Structure 1
């Protein structure tokens, strides 16, 4: 049971980093680089199902989308509960 909890915790930790990378790439994709755009599309495919849930309930505030931050907080709480 301990190995499963450890593995799940590590997967959630990795997923948190994918969300952070996706947020950074969303700013960098304005440079027009096709490599950045391709990586952004890949990370967005992974992140959007979870962040999209929060995006439905949290509107942008002054043009800023806070749903990734809320998703990170919720994932961190779940990760701490798993440990």
Structure 2
């Protein structure tokens, strides 16, 4: 059981880093999201982010959904480490 919890906690940490990279790359408007490795990163992170985008639409050109998504991952990851 502990192996499963550790694996899930590691996955959450890696996924959080991928989300942060995705958010930071949006600051560069010259990035072509149709080229590799950006397409793969987008395919991995967008389904999760779209869940939060449906709850919190962009306000004034700012997308706050990644903050909520990362906070939720951190809460779940912290809960797993407490087990």
- Structure 1: unaligned runs, 5 residues or longer: none
Cα distance in 1, alignment partners of residues 36 and 24 from structure 2: 14
The Cα RMSD (Å) is 1.9
TM-score, normalised by the number of residues in structure 1 = 0.85
The equivalent of 2:46 in structure 1 is: 48
TM-score, normalised by the number of residues in structure 2 = 0.85
- Structure 2: unaligned runs, 5 residues or longer: none
Residue correspondences, number: 81
The equivalent of 2:24 in structure 1 is: 24
Structure 1 stretches of 4+ moved >3 Å: 34-37
